[in-house]
Structure 1
Amino acid sequence: MDKLIGVTDSLLTEAGFMIEEYKRRRESGEKGDFYRDVKPYADKVKSLNDQWRSLSEEWVATSRPKHLHLPQISNTYDNIEMLSVHCFFPESSYNRFISHYQSVSYVLGTQLHELRKD
């Protein structure tokens, strides 16, 4: 349980970085270098995200939280993967990026709330 709280909290922090990075790059118009910026960051997030999905699926199956279900875990996993790459590209759709960010933030925040109340 503590490991899941830690990983979820870390991903929420990374999501905050992603939205700020995206906004900064939209303002500057500067794309991220694939090998210097994008790949190392996406690999780092993927490692966290893989841990999170595995721990979360197990937690949802055993704890059966009222407001979180397995499809949300899967969708959030996919959205985090997408955000970790697209945050470096200013031409990424603003509305789509914000929508995925809000979805990720909601699920991770809801999960942390549920985990901490147990």
Structure 2
Amino acid sequence: MEHKEHKIMKTKTIKLKNYLKQINSNYENVRSTGEQKDFYTVIQPFVDEVYEFTDEWVEYAKNWIHKYKPKNLVVQQVESAFENIREICAQSFFAKTSYRRFKHTFHSINYTLEKLLTEISKKEAD
């Protein structure tokens, strides 16, 4: 059962990293082109999709951390990544979003997801 839980957690975290890459790509695109996307056909569906997935991911991640108690990761980091990805998800479509703040938040989320993937790999190896 443990191996299956690790695999599910890894798959979900990789999917979240892919959403994060897409969010970064959205932001880079809007900053370079200045093109405004349609709220109802592009922005809202993407944000809804990310929100739905992050709701599922954060609960699974918190349960995984409680159960397996990884050394270098705490629930607060996962909750922070959850809140931050939801925050920058919609912001990524607007060129006026602060570049420095966006990139700082992006790197913070990415760091937590990488740390989680490392901890999952350690548990899989045990």
Q: For this structure pair, what is the TM-score category when the shorter chain's length is used for normalisation?
A: over 0.9
Q: Does 1:76 align with 2:84?
A: no
Q: Does 1:16 align with 2:32?
A: no
Q: Does 1:94 align with 2:94?
A: no
Deviation at 1:31, TM superposition (A): 2.2
Q: Which consecutive residues of structure 1, in runs of 5 or more, have no partner in the other structure?
A: none
TM-score normalised by L of structure 1 = 0.95
Partner deviation per Cα, 1:56-102 (whole Å, 9 max, x = no partner): 11011111111111111111100110121111111111111101100
TM-score normalised by L of structure 2 = 0.89
Which amino acid is the alignment partner of residue 72 of structure 1? Q
Name the counterpart of 2:55: 50
Q: Alignment identity in percent? A: 28
Which amino acid is the alignment partner of residue 10 of structure 2? I
Moved >2 Å (runs of 4+): none
Computing the radius of gyration over CA atoms, which structure comes out larger, 1 or 2?
2
Residue 31 of structure 1 aligns to a residue whose secondary structure is: coil
Q: Does 1:64 align with 2:69?
A: yes
Q: Which consecutive residues of structure 2, in runs of 5 or more, have no partner in the other structure?
A: none
| Number of equivalenced pairs | 118
Q: CA-atom RMSD, angstroms?
A: 1.0
Deviation at 1:32, TM superposition (A): 2.2
Q: Distance in 2 between matches of 1:106 and 1:7?
A: 16
Partner deviation per Cα, 1:29-72 (whole Å, 9 max, x = no partner): 12222111111001111121111100111011111111111111
Which amino acid is the alignment partner of residue 53 of structure 2? L
Q: Distance in 1 between matches of 2:70 and 2:37?
A: 38
Which amino acid is the alignment partner of residue 54 of structure 1? E
Q: Distance in 2 between matches of 1:97 and 1:31?
A: 18
Which amino acid is the alignment partner of residue 5 of structure 1? K
Q: Does 1:111 align with 2:116?
A: yes
